[in-house]
Chains A and B, each alone.
Chain A
Amino acid sequence: MLSQLALTVNGAPTVVPSGTTVAVAMAIAAQTCRTSVSGEPRGPLCGMGICFECRVAINGKPHCLGCRVLCEPGMDVRTNE
């Protein structure tokens, strides 16, 4: 259960425990999730898939909710794409 996995967050290699969500991996990598329409950096607010502040691109697929997706080995997570 406590094994680790590696993914990339905005190109930077990041190692997290398995079972970690993408939104948490972003926090571990010290990255915010999206830039708001007026240019503010934003991170997760509700933690339960309602506020949409944690949306990121996962493996090229845009608008994924980081708080609802579990990290997988080799995953490529990017902000604002």
Chain B
Amino acid sequence: MSRTVRPRFDILVVGGGPAGMAAATRAGEHGQKVGIIDDNATLGGQIWRGESEAGSAASRWGERLRSSGAMVLCGRVFHQPEPRILLAENDDGLQELHYEKLILATGARERFLPFPGWTLPNVMGAGGLQAMVKCGLPVRGKRVVVAGTGPLLLAVAAYLRKHGAEIPIISEQASWMSLARFSVMLFAQPSKIVQGLQLKRQLAGTRFCAKSWPVAASGRATVETVTISRSRRMETIPCDYLACGFHLVPNIELPLLLGCQIHDGCVKVDDFQRTTVADIFCAGEPTGIGGVELALVEGEVAGLAAAGRIAEASSLFGKRERLRRFARSLDRTFRLRSELRSLSLPETIVCRCEDVRYSRLREHSGWRAAKLQTRCGMGPCQARICGPATQFLFRWNPDSVRPPIFPVRVESMAGVAGDANLELCETTGGR
């Protein structure tokens, strides 16, 4: 397997979604030698996946990034063998990335909560099913129940409908009261109103239930029905897919590995998007879930600040603060209600990698003990799915990461095998 040592970058950006693209662009436009690495084949992150419409924000930023001279790399960062060096793996081999300054724009993932039947095939994340459709999954004529919480549900339902799916219900756990407060707040965000009205038009006639959540999915080989609780009544709905996600959680594994301080599950940053580690910046969802506009502004601030353009970075603070108010209202509106803690039955699987059931986990007092005794969180996803779930269910705090932060080929670790911190036994994982 090949090992490529890249010439040192002034600024390296990890993550090629909106925040990373904006950061790399603004830094590159000021003459910095910039690299941007992402583990997807194309930039744009999850939100802009497959979007190339002329004139869209995605294509505008893509064009601007290309002209900025930033070098685009493909690979998944999994380890920091020594300060200012990161290792990344892709199909072609291993890359060694040296940098002066680092900008982390690692994005977010969906939060999943366990309930009976959630491990059945065709029960997917809301964003998960959308990603599959963007990658070619036909949903024309399929019945898709959309459930969980967060603004993503509406966007996904509209997208699926546009692709021919039938949406019998959108089930949102937030109450009408908090959704109403949220929509009042939107009046301060003109661009969000426009998006909201578009969604409303696209979803005309679709049934939307607030204070409602899935309690069980069932089926023989794949999901066939979903039972939804609404106003304490149960309703069982036949479907081909359940698209179910409970808002988003920041991807903080790499910031944690690098020693960045975390507050309330998010990377702590100052006005210039600097983390608590010197020369490491962070932008976008890892600093708090706030959506694409906020991610772009934070990315711009981080890129400019890392390039030493302090005045230009400061000029964006006002815009960023307005968008952060929106982010805070997202947190309030889509906070998980406590009833969701009782969705798991004793036999419900919580850790899907190791098939660890709820009854085995609730015997333990904390994350570390549960992990050691049950192998919860020790499979290939390295607690990315069950970590946020157990955090909500048991108020545990999955607080530490170890390299490699993603499973990698054994050959990729061979070059750094002298490092005693490596958990090589975890790298291939399961079947």
State whether B131 touches A47 (Cβ < 8 A).
Answer: yes
Who on chain B is nearest to A19 by CB? B136
Given the known A-B contacts A42-B352, A48-B109, A48-B127, are A16 and B431 also in contact in the complex, defined by CB atoms under 8 Å?
A: no
B318 within 8 A of A: no
The 8 Å CB contact of A51, one of B41, B135, B221, B384, is B384
Q: Which residues of B contact A27 (CB under 8 A)?
A: 132, 137
The 8 Å CB contact of B355, one of A36, A49, A52, is A36
**CB <8 Å contact, B127 and A40:** no
Distance in Å: Cβ of B205 to nearest Cβ of chain A:
27
Instruction: Please tell me if the beta carbons of B119 and A42 are within 8 angstroms of each other in the complex.
Output: yes
Task: Out of B132, B353, B355, name the residue touching A47 (CB < 8 Å).
Answer: B132
Interface residues on B, range: 35 or more
B129 contacts partner chain A, Cβ-Cβ < 8 Å: yes
Assess whether B428 is interfacial by the CB under 8 Å rule.
Answer: yes
Determine if A35 and B431 form an interchain contact, defined as CB atoms under 8 angstroms apart: yes
Docked-complex contact B128 and A44, CB < 8 angstroms: yes
Among A25-65, those with CB < 8 Å from B are 27-28, 32-38, 40-53, 55, 63
Q: Would A55 and B355 count as touching, CB distance under 8 A?
A: no
* Bound: A24/B130 CA distance, A: 12
Q: Given A48-B131, A80-B431, decide whether A63 and B407 contact each other with a Cβ distance below 8 A.
A: yes
Smallest Cβ distance from B47 to chain A, in angstroms? 11
Residues of B within 8 A of A44 (CB): 124, 128, 132
Given contacts A42-B119, A67-B135, are A50 and B124 in contact (CB under 8 A)?
A: no
Contact A45 B132 (CB under 8 A): no
Residue numbers in B under 8 Å from A35 (CB-CB)? 431
- Residues in B neighbouring A40, C-beta threshold 8 A: 119, 349, 355
State the CA gap A67–B381 with chains docked (Å). Answer: 14
Residue B125 is within 8 A (CB to CB) of chain A in the complex: yes
**Bound: A32/B121 CA distance, A:** 7
Does B224 sit within 8 A of A, measured CB to CB?
A: no
Check: B374 CB closer than 8 A to any chain A CB. Answer: no
What residues of chain B lie closer than 8 Å to A37, measured between beta carbons?
Answer: 354-355, 430-431
Question: Interface readout for B380-404 with A: 1 if CB under 8 Å, 0 if not?
Answer: 1100110000000000000000000
Interface pair A67/B355, CB less than 8 Å apart? no
Separation in Å of the A74 CB from the closest CB of chain B?
17
Contact for B379 among A20, A24, A52, CB less than 8 A = A52
Asked if B415 lies at the interface with its beta carbon under 8 angstroms from chain A, I say no
* B259 interfacial by beta-carbon distance below 8 Å: no
Q: CA separation between A70 and B41, bound complex, in Å?
A: 10
Cα(A41)–Cα(B223), bound, Å: 12
Residues of B within 8 A of A33 (CB): 121
B222 within 8 A of A: yes
Please determine whether A45 and B124 come into contact, CB atoms closer than 8 angstroms: yes
Min distance, Cβ A65 to any Cβ of chain B, angstroms: 9
Contacts of A42 in B (CB 8 A): 119, 121, 352
A21 at the interface (CB under 8 A from B): yes
Residue on A nearest B49 in the bound complex, by CB: A48
Assess the A46–B380 pair: CB atoms within 8 A.
no
Q: Is the CB of B221 within 8 A of A46?
A: no
Please report the C-alpha to C-alpha distance between residue A21 and residue B429 in the assembled complex, in whole angstroms. 23
A20 near B135: Cβ-Cβ < 8 Å: yes
Q: Is B385 a contact of A45 with CB atoms below 8 Å?
A: yes
Convert B108-141 into 0s and 1s, putting 1 for each residue whose CB lies closer than 8 angstroms to a CB of A: 0110100000010111110111111001111000
**Contact B135–A52 (Cβ < 8 Å):** no
In the complex, whether A9 has a CB less than 8 A from a CB of chain B is: no
Chain B residues with Cβ below 8 Å from A20 are: 135-136
* Whole-angstrom distance between the Cβ of A73 and the nearest chain B Cβ: 15
Contact (Cβ within 8 A) A41 B121: yes
Q: How far is the CB of B314 from chain A (nearest CB, A)?
A: 34
Set of chain A residues within 8 Å of B130, measured between Cβ atoms: 47
What's the minimum C-beta distance from A15 to chain B, rounded to whole angstroms?
A: 12
Known interface pairs A20-B136, A46-B127; 4 further A-B residue pairs with C-beta atoms within 8 A, sorted by A's residue number:
A32-B121, A43-B124, A50-B384, A53-B352
Please provide the 3 A-B residue pairs with the shortest distance between their CB atoms, ordered closest to farther: A47-B131, A43-B121, A20-B136
Please, could you name 22 A-B residue pairs with CB atoms under 8 Å apart, sorted by A?
A16-B136, A27-B137, A28-B138, A37-B355, A37-B430, A38-B349, A43-B121, A43-B122, A44-B124, A45-B112, A45-B123, A46-B124, A46-B131, A47-B130, A48-B128, A50-B381, A50-B384, A50-B385, A63-B428, A67-B131, A68-B39, A70-B41
Binding site for B on A (CB under 8 A): 16-17, 19-21, 23-24, 27-28, 32-38, 40-53, 55, 63, 67-68, 70, 80
